[in-house]
Amino acid sequence: MNTLPYSPVVKHNDVLYVSGQLPMYNGVLLVDVYEATLQCLKNIEPLLKEHGSNLEKVIKITVFMTDFSEFETMNTAYSTIFVNNKPARSAIEVKRLPKGAVIEIECIASI
C-alpha cells in the first residue's frame, strides 16, 4: 500500500507519468553524480515494467540537479542508457532536493 502523498506512477490512456526518482540503492542515497544518474534511471525501470513499458518507450525526461557544474557527468551516464532512444529532455538546476539528493529524474513514457 502506498503511504506517500502522491502516486509513483499515473497511467492516463496509453501514457505513464513517473514521479521523480531519487538515487536510492538499498536504502542508501548515492552522491556521485554519475552513479546517482544511473541509479535514478534504474529506479524508474521497474515502475515502467510494472505498467507494460520500458526505457525504450520513454518520450520525455526531466532531470533536476543541485549543481550544474556536474551536467557533463550526468550527460555521460545518461548517454549510456539512452543510446538509440533519445527522449526529449529538460534539465533544471535547483537549490535543494529531498533527502539531500544531488539529482532527481522523472519521466513520461508510452505503453
pLDDT, averaged in runs of 10, over the chain (111 residues) = 79 96 96 98 97 97 98 97 95 96 98 95
Residue with cell 513517473: 18
- Which pLDDT belongs to residue 2? 61
- pTM equals 0.94
- Which pLDDT belongs to residue 44? 97
- Which pLDDT belongs to residue 66? 98
Q: Whole-angstrom Cα distance, residue 50 to residue 9?
A: 10
Q: Whole-angstrom Cα distance, residue 98 to residue 50?
A: 25
Domains and CATH numbers, the chain: 9-110 (3.30.1330.40)
